[in-house]
Homo-oligomer: A and B are copies of this chain.
Amino acid sequence: MSLEASRRTQRMVSGEDIVIEAAWLYYHDSLNQNDIAERLGVSRATVVNYLQEARERGFVQISMSADAFSGHRLAIAIKELFGLDDVLVIPDGKLSVDQAANRVARAAARWLPSMLAPGDRLGVAWGKTIYDVAENLEPVAIPDLTVLQLVGSMATPYGFSADVCSSYVARRLFARCINLHVPAIVSTPEVADVLRRETLIASQFDEITRFNKTLFAVGSCLPDSHVVSSGVATVAELQWYVDQGATGVLCGRFIDRNGKGIEGPLDARMMGVSVDMMRSRETGILVSVAADRVPATVAALRGGYATHLVTDQSSAEKLLTSSS
């Protein structure tokens, strides 16, 4: 059209980014694409492209509010029962365990940033659940955040060892990360002692004991449990703890049905925070999914490790029935 004053060389409207203008009109002023096209003097198809770009560039964020899940009947019941600060129950209508787990992880990931404040020191546990949470975190900068690896690393076949989990979380939140560069378990208590006295490691230990918030999951005490498959304990060792009443695993340590730590032969060889140090912190975010972890989750809640819980609906149901 010769009437058109001049062709845009860069996508600008009165000199600036037209993509943002389009996104504002669409998402804030809720105009339809036709009106936007008219107003910006482009075709509607172009507006579609602009909006797509705005979404891709992350200018527009669509998220579900935590209220949707914390207002859930089961969420309220669990919150009351265990005296938690907040609980999210994610619906899992007829979904497979994997899919439900993914939803829970995504919900936890969305929720996490809003629970952190500048200056926080966040202790991070490890496992598939925690890794999934990290993976679903949107990059958001939390000023002056420190992420701490609570237990030593263990090579897992799946690639989510403790150091990976904490680094990943830290990267997503642009946080300082303090890793604990030792295995989660060593062969003898003597080796453990030597390591703990090593200057560098001692200072790392010193760092990781100073945290005010935690992000963690719990493991079951079944023979196919994570604690066995990752090599922290043998089936026989696990059985020993189970015989002493072990119901769940928290940061590699065994806890009984009331959440109390169970001392045993492995503890002296383990490298990482003890369960007693996890207790009664300002904020403890427990992410828990799958039926076989329900007893462990109940134990952790009774033990007072968590102030916040994210779980799926069917776990939430079992959790309430099994603990009443």
Which residues of A line the B interface, CB within 8 A?
Answer: 13-14, 16-18, 20-21, 23-24, 27-28, 39-40, 54, 57-65, 67-69, 72-74, 90-91, 93-94, 103, 106, 117-118, 313
Contact = CB atoms under 8 A, between A and B. Distances in A.
- How many subunits of this chain does the assembly comprise? 2
Given A13-B91, A14-B313, A313-B16, A24 B64 contact: yes
A64 to B, nearest CB: 6
Contacts of A24: 64, 90-91, 103
A62 B60 contact: yes
Contact of A72 (B17, B28, B74): B17
23 contacts: A13-B93, A14-B94, A16-B73, A16-B91, A17-B72, A18-B93, A20-B64, A20-B68, A21-B91, A21-B93, A23-B64, A24-B64, A24-B90, A24-B103, A54-B68, A59-B68, A60-B64, A60-B65, A60-B68, A61-B64, A61-B65, A62-B62, A117-B118
Contacts of A91: 13, 16-17, 20-21, 24
Given A16-B73, A16-B91, A61-B65, 7 more contacts: A14-B313, A21-B93, A27-B63, A54-B68, A58-B65, A59-B67, A117-B117
A103 B28 CA distance: 9
A118 B17 CA distance: 35
Nearest to A116: B117
A117 to B, nearest CB: 5
A23 B103 contact: no
Most interface-central of A14, A61, A72, A93 (chain B CB within 10 A): A93
Contacts of A117: 117-118
Contacts of A68: 20, 23, 54, 57, 59-60
A16 to B, nearest CB: 6
B28 A93 contact: no
A324 to B, nearest CB: 17
A233 to B, nearest CB: 36
Contacts of A39: 93-94
B58 A61 contact: no
Contacts of A60: 62-65, 68
Nearest to A54: B68
Given A14-B93, A93-B14, A94-B14, A20 B61 contact: no
Nearest to A99: B29
Given A16-B73, A118-B117, A27 B62 contact: yes
A57 B65 CA distance: 10
A59 B65 contact: yes
